[in-house]
Amino acid sequence: MNHCLTCKVQLDQPGLVETADCGGDCLECMGRAGDPAAAEAFLKETKALRAALQMADELCKYALPKFNWGASALDARAIQLLNETPRAISQALKGEKV
């Protein structure tokens, strides 16, 4: 197993974009060192995770409270969130575009 020359973290860990091998150093160390490509990769990852978290937050606000006996039926937005949020979270964790 390869490790980052700077911080010694294991490189190319599944689901952890910051551990991507950038020629011996991890993406996180390259970004901290000011590498523009690494900074762009982090920005892209942050946007995807933020979008997934916003959807999860909406899911908690709009859909989950309706799962009780006294609540009204699910509205269109709640159904949409229940369908889209798990996929968005999965994509964000895999580093895919949400």
Rounded Cα–Cα distance for residues 31 and 47 (Å): 16
Rounded Cα–Cα distance for residues 28 and 13 (Å): 13
Rounded Cα–Cα distance for residues 83 and 92 (Å): 15
pLDDT in tens, 27-66: 999 988 999 988 888 788 778 788 888 888 887 777 766 6
State the pTM of this model. 0.52
Residue 16: helix, strand or coil by DSSP? coil
5: pLDDT confidence band, cut at 50, 70 and 90? very high
Let me know: does 17 contact 95? Beta carbons within 8 Å. Answer: yes
Rounded Cα–Cα distance for residues 31 and 19 (Å): 11
| Residue 8, pLDDT score | 96
pLDDT in tens, 64-91: 666 655 556 667 777 787 788 888 877 7
Let me know: does 30 contact 22? Beta carbons within 8 Å. Answer: yes
